[in-house]
Amino acid sequence: MRAISLLVISFILIFGCSQKKTPISQPQTWYKGNLHTHSYWSDGDEFPEVILDWYKDHDYQFLALSDHNTIAQEEKWITIRKDSMYQSAFQRYLEEYGEKWVEYKVDSGVTKVKLKTYGQYSEFAQVDGEFLVIPSEEITDRYEDKHIHMNATNIQEKIDPLGGKSVAEVMQNNLDQVLDQRKRTGVPMIPHINHPNFFYSIDLEDMQSLNGERFFEVYNGHPMVHNMGDSVHISTEQMWDLINIDYLENGKPLMFGLATDDSHSYHQIGNQWSNAGRGWVMVQSDSLSASHLIEAMESGKFYASTGVELKTASVNSNVLTIEVQAEPNVD
């Protein structure tokens, strides 16, 4: 039921409050994607190529590998842990992708592997019109004991976290860096606030204070992010409602809600691990390109889900009509 609730509320906000009253254009295509993913480039536990192939095999059309404070352009070697699970995973990686692709060395029983850069793994994985890899960075900052993370999707240059004298100032400083890069380069890119309830670092007032932010994670699949809140902290869904009440009262554009899986763990599966496939967005776009996807999302032509997919969706005379795609063997 949580997936249905998230899905329906997303559509009411995105389409029901839109200024456009015409039906959604039918010739456009729905594309499924995840905007928050981690690999060996930061604190994930798998190679980028393997991760990309997992999403391709599970019917995603785009993915942003958003590792912490990097855009995967430099040279980086990682050491394979001695745990048999990771040793076995490396052997599967080597067998699957081959000695010509995998650059590694073994010294005194320690295996080190050179990671493929964004340019290498994106060229390897992308298929025109079928699968897109979008450059991304999770700008990872702190204020005192607060964890303040923001994704920048379709980023062109690495952004270093700026810090600040409060949670709100840290957020705004890093948000401004993304918006400035977008203006300077002319390349469409979007920042979004990640998991505000992670260590309960970002509160409602911090979110309401932002200028220029249009997206945040109303759902994040990591087990430590407290989407539902607790006895003293509101849920991210409640936060979303209150943000937009404030934004409407103050003449700000609406804040859109995203679902992401924030995947880190690819070898251990379960509720205590941050696994792939728990949350995504479906974007209705003219084509599978970063610029068109971002344009569509900024126009509200998307929905976020943790399981439900739609067969049809339209808005006409401010009336939202949706039809849910039936799943086999589900009543």
The residues spanned by each domain of the chain are 2-76+115-324, 77-114
The structure tokens listed for 273 are 């691990």
Architecture of domain 2-76+115-324: Alpha-Beta Barrel (3.20)
Task: Specify the amino acid at residue 220.
Answer: N
- Count other Cβ atoms within 10 Å, centred on residue 108: 4
Contact 282, 303 (CB under 8 A): yes
pLDDT for the residue 320 = 87
Band of residue 27 on the pLDDT scale cut at 50, 70, 90: low
Residues 223-259: tens digit of each pLDDT? 999 999 999 999 999 999 999 999 999 999 999 999 9
Q: What mean pLDDT is predicted for residues 162-167?
A: 98
Residues 51-66 have pLDDT tens digits of 999 999 999 999 999 9
Contact present, 314 and 300 (Cβ < 8 Å): no
Closest Cα partner for 286 from 10, 16, 26? 26
Give the percent of the chain with pLDDT over 70. Answer: 91
* Residue given tokens 């994704």 in the structure block: 151
- The contacts of residue 316 (CB under 8 Å, 6+ apart) are 21, 22, 23
